[in-house]
Amino acid sequence: MDKKFREFVAESVRVDHAAYQRSHMKKPSGQGHWMVGIGTHDIDFSKHKEGEHYITHNGKASEAVAKAKEVAKKHGKTSVHVLP
């Protein structure tokens, strides 16, 4: 593998919306109040902190995902999960 490809893979963050889609029978889109898990879809509010383990966002779903991806990169996580 060349260096640029390895860097790309290391920086990429996978977006999982399976739990949201199972719950709402559609992909996340549009305006709303969104919660996105960072590295996990199992959020325990007594143990996890907003801005580290999950984010909330009032606006577009795509903005929420982008915000979560930034946090994921900052904390070395490789996935984010749109929560139902």
Q: Domain residue spans in the chain?
A: 13-82
Name the pTM for this structure: 0.82
Q: Measured between alpha carbons, how far is 39 from 20 in angstroms, rounded to an integer?
A: 15
| pLDDT < 70 positions in the chain | 1-11
What is the CA angle 38-48-21, rounded to 5? 45
Closest-CA residue to 17 (of 73, 70, 64): 64
| pLDDT computed for residue 40 by the predictor | 86
